[in-house]
Amino acid sequence: MAAYSLQGPSRTGFVLLLLCTCIPFPAPASGSDGGALHVKSGESIQAAINAAYSGQMIVVELGTYAEQLTINTDGLQLVGKGASLVPPGAVVRNTCTGLAGPDTEAGICVTGQDVTLADFVLDHRQVLSVGQPVKDILVTGFQIQGFGLDVAVVGGQNTTIVGNGLYDGGQYGCLSTGSNNSHVDTNNVTSTGGLRYIGICMDDMTPGQITNNSIEGYNFALCVQTDGAHVANNHVLESCFGAFVDPGVQGAKVLDNHVGGASLMCASLPGEAMGGITIFAASDTEVQGNVVEGMRAGGLVNATAGITLVDDPTTNSTATGNKVVGNTLLDNDLDIYVRTAGAGNVVKDNKCSTPAELCG
């Protein structure tokens, strides 16, 4: 993914997502979390994860924990109560090592067993096979900052990442890949300085949901690489691309999102391009009920649009059967841009002004 000109986009142009027995565990708490393990500041979260049984809750109390976490036991519920996770002094290698390029590590790596990954080429390593998925993981209530990927789910099933603060993930705030039925909801994904690469991305085997998140300060806020993905009610600010549906993706739904103005830093990227919602040689995408506003390129010509529907000239793949209906576009250099030879695309009933023939 990277920058492009509306006069001729290209895919390559879219810029380049050990059990420690020495630590005592408190007795299980009574009450609603009876049976839970509690981790206090100065103790090891990973040791608790290693000691937990399938389906157990781990409550991590207030504190800053310099750890990388690996979760591969079914049903674990990792609940932060004011817990912050930052990179440790020494790298811990796991499935997520190098996932988003050399020297990248995940703050929390949710991983299935016997995962086979392709070599890194672009964005992230592709999942070739999963021997056994890890099932029903919950991660909630954490502040995670400064990893290559703040959270990564690789070979998961029914994983829920909800209610976390994900800050300054260099390549990804959250990535789910090679997984089934992932749900990424109500997270705050923010770059606190400069543009990072991808906020949230789903490149999964079966449809998942990216809903109710806030993303700010990313080149690509929402990356859609899963057939049938449901991307709804997210709030995007200060990002170059709000939602980007990749070539070949079928049946994604991009609904009721708000995409605000692009970061001023976007104009300094190669190709100087940006866009609110981009359908790039995808098919049967539904883009409806979104509000896209303030996508302006500071005077650059043909550099941005509120909603873009285009083919991929590098592969001759076309955008087909897409529906762009009932969206509201305000204060953009260009509200809607369509350049496709594909059949069956519908653009109608959008509240916008430019070009007139695609609005109203």
What's the pLDDT tens digit per position in 238-265?
999 999 999 999 999 999 999 998 887 8
Give the H/E segment covering residue 82: strand 77-86
- Per residue in 158-214, pLDDT (tens digit) is 999 999 999 999 999 999 999 999 999 999 999 998 899 999 999 999 999 999 999
% of the chain residues with pLDDT over 90: 82
Distances (CA, A) of 21 to 8, 25, 43: 59, 10, 11
Q: Exposed/middle/buried for 120, CB within 10 Å: 0-12, 13-18, 19+?
A: middle
If DSSP codes are grouped into helix, strand and coil, which group holds residue 304?
A: strand
CA distance 56 to 51: 10
User: Looking at residues 331-343, what average pLDDT do you find?
Assistant: 95
Whether the per-residue pLDDT at 65 is higher than 60: the answer is yes
Amino acid identity of residue 147, one-letter, is: F
Higher pLDDT, 199 or 19: 199
- The pTM score is 0.89
Residues pairing with 152 in the sheet? 109, 175
pLDDT tens column, 69-112: 999 999 999 999 999 999 999 999 999 999 999 999 999 999 99
Backbone angles phi, psi at 347, to 5 degrees: -125, 110
Tokens representing residue 332 in the block = 């953009």
Type of residue found at 217: G
pLDDT band for 34, please (50, 70, 90 cuts): low
Average pLDDT for the chain: 89
Kindly state whether residue 300 falls inside one of the protein's structural domains.
Answer: yes
Q: Are 15 and 269 spatial neighbours (Cβ–Cβ below 8 Å)? A: yes
pLDDT of 13 over the 50 cut: no
The CB density around residue 157, as the number of other CB atoms within 10 Å, is 20
The answer to whether residue 114 is domain-embedded is yes
**Domain extent for 213:** 64-358
The reply to whether 45 falls in a domain is no
Residue 9 lies in a domain: no
- CA–CA gap between residue 50 and residue 87 (Å, rounded): 19
E-assigned strand segments in 96-181: 106-111, 113-117, 127-132, 134-135, 138-145, 149-154, 156-157, 160-162, 165-167, 172-177
Distances (CA, A) of 211 to 78, 99, 181, 222: 20, 24, 13, 10
Question: Would you say residue 267 has pLDDT above 50?
Answer: yes
Beta strands at 156-157 and 134-135: parallel, antiparallel or unpaired: parallel
Confidence of residue 266 (pLDDT cuts 50, 70, 90): confident
Q: How far is CA 38 from CA 3, 106, 124, in A?
A: 46, 23, 34
- pLDDT of res. 131: 97
- pLDDT tens-digit profile of 38-62? 999 999 999 999 999 999 999 999 9
Is the residue at 76 inside a domain? yes
Give the separation between CA 49 and CA 64, rounded to whole angstroms.
17
Q: What pLDDT does 285 receive?
A: 99
- Where does the pLDDT of residue 33 fall: very low under 50, low under 70, confident under 90, or very high at 90 and above? low
Distance separating alpha carbons of residues 310 and 116, to the nearest angstrom = 33
With cut-offs at 50, 70 and 90, classify the pLDDT of residue 351. very high
User: What pLDDT score was predicted for residue 250?
Assistant: 98
pLDDT at 271: 60
What token pair was written down for 47? 């040791």
Q: How far is CA 53 from CA 36, 138, 182, 254, 312, in A?
A: 10, 14, 22, 38, 48
Counted domains in the chain: 1
pLDDT band at 7 (very low <50, low <70, confident <90, very high): very low
In a domain, 121, yes or no: yes
Determine the 3-state secondary structure of 80 from DSSP. strand
Q: Which residues fall within 8 angstroms of residue 178, CB to CB, at 6 or more apart? A: 112, 115, 126, 127, 130, 154, 155, 203, 204, 205
Residue 54 belongs to some domain of the structure? no
Say if CB 188 and CB 164 are below 8 A apart: yes
Give residue 302's pLDDT: 58
Residue 347 lies in a domain: yes
Q: Which two tokens stand for residue 137?
A: 């993981």
